[in-house]
A and B are shown apart, each in its own frame.
Chain A
């Protein structure tokens, strides 16, 4: 056998190996893509019911007698605030289904509509006091169990005792549906309200705003400090200095510290020492900013290091000062890398719940935060709270909140990509 024959003999085996190697890669990609697709599909499927809500048309009688208020030309806000609005939907329902005397059944009838309806009606009346003394058909929110029934999520065939909706309630709803008094609408509530114990009243806006404010604080704290620290360490600090080496080691260690430790630190320093308001986006943002800082420093240093030295030399050779070299060349050239690193850090911070546990952001907050100092919660915490709630409709809300978190993340990434593109094409 000569040389060529020996080589030829081995060739087939080599190519087979190569094909197998490629196949492993393709297989891995398919596996991970299918996991991802399954996950997204599952979430989307579960979330779908959360985006519509069932409404019931009631003929509401705003008469003075029902509201127990004397006829006047104008009312003060306080007067209107205190009226017995809870009677309005109940009365309307009793009229629709007359002859129900059983106390239990009466209660079940009242519970066809959401307990929050009284507040919606109150807001309507306060906004327009002319309603008093009139009668009007109004679409009101159905209770979450009724909502589930209408959406077909409750099986009518299982025994009544095991069902959250009783047979007579089903009969009422069927009757209402025949009279065209039941309608499914887009769940605008989900995007405009804060959290609530009633699933049909619960919305994501509070958590969304909380996350937004928190991320702003995180960005404002970690980005400038992180980039400045990285620039100093990379461009100005002397190499082979024990202090610099120690700082470097510590930054690398900090990046690996479990996030809950930052929460404890935040509690001790920000809240106990500096008196930052508990549960506020300011406290959360500061804690998460601290957590993100080492990630930004490390990635920024890597990005700065990857700027070719020839560019620095060229600028220095032309008489640029060190700062000009950094501002004109090093930072613009490393900006794509810096942005990528910052977004990775921010994305991690966005999904973090553990450090927030310590500073009181893992809590039921119904009000929508109006600023950096209001008590608030964030998206991952909202997901956690809802997933832990017993009502069936929270399952859909949990998935819908996950989608909102993913959308938030996607928008952040999009912003980073746009900025990166802008810096990359800046000739």
Chain B
């Protein structure tokens, strides 16, 4: 058992593939360690870059730390008692954990879409308008109307909802709700969108719609997506990262990861022998 662990540690000590990119990355993670309550470490020495206008997929078995890392990128982990982080995460070269950075401001730049669609129990309009109102992005009602329309169009929800903007957002179908959540995130005009298993609660048709949407959004946003579906990762991402027991095992262009993985663990996972 002990031997196995040592072997695993050796196996996992270094991230293989191409974790860092040439050119200017949007987000960089350097030696990131995340702890819950000091004694349990969730993430070990992660180094990875997110390129602008690309989708980075994060895959791996349950509990491997991919969601934890994702939630570090907009400091959502701040809200968890006892969660601490070391190392450096930068957005456009600026350390997001430095004291000058306000998490509220950061979250306006780095939006998030969650696993379960979570619209507010308000009207569709108010759901989308919530962020702009909060940050004072739209100064008057007609501007707000424009922002809401633009966001719903980008999220591919405008046609279905333009006649029922005052109906509750919770009355939409699951897929529509998730697109509403994406519209709500877009309305704040972030640079980066983090998606935590955005389609795991949806049926295949709704999933396909969301995946298409992600493709379109890529041109204006940098996207990081955690997914349990390898097919989804293969379909939508530009680069793909594989996590195992809190370590980042392999990062590379998606086609390389799926056709020619360097690491044995990655290969086992994507071929279905493990996971």
Contacts and interface: CB of A to CB of B under 8 A. Distances in A.
A239 B81 contact: yes
B123 A310 contact: no
B121 A427 contact: yes
Contact of A317 (B82, B105, B107, B168): B107
B127 to A, nearest CB: 9
Interface stretch (B22-30, B130-138, B205-213, B263-271): B130-138
A333 B111 contact: no
Contact of A314 (B105, B106, B120, B126): B120
Interface of A is mostly: helix
A240 interface: yes
Interface stretch (B41-49, B88-96, B180-188, B243-251): B180-188
A6 interface: no
B137 to A, nearest CB: 10
A320 B131 CA distance: 8
B120 A319 contact: no
A16 interface: no
Given A239-B81, A240-B81, A318 B118 contact: no
Given A239-B81, A311-B120, A319 B114 contact: no
Interface residues of B, number: 30
A313 B116 CA distance: 11
Interface residues of A, number: 21
Q: Which of A239, A320, A324, A329 has the most CB of B within 10 A?
A: A320
A320 B181 CA distance: 15
A313 B131 CA distance: 13
A316 B274 CA distance: 35
B103 to A, nearest CB: 8
Given A240-B81, A324-B134, A317 B74 contact: yes
Contact of A315 (B82, B120, B123): B120
Interface string B231-254: 000000000000000000000000
Contacts of A427: 121-123, 126, 168
Contacts of B168: 427
Interface of B: 74, 76, 79, 81-82, 104-108, 111-112, 114, 116, 118-123, 126, 130-131, 134-135, 168, 181, 184-185, 188
Given A320-B134, A333-B121, 19 more contacts: A239-B81, A240-B82, A308-B118, A311-B120, A312-B79, A313-B79, A314-B119, A316-B79, A317-B74, A317-B112, A318-B130, A318-B185, A318-B188, A319-B104, A319-B106, A319-B107, A324-B134, A427-B122, A427-B126
8 contacts: A240-B81, A312-B79, A313-B114, A315-B120, A317-B74, A319-B134, A320-B134, A329-B120
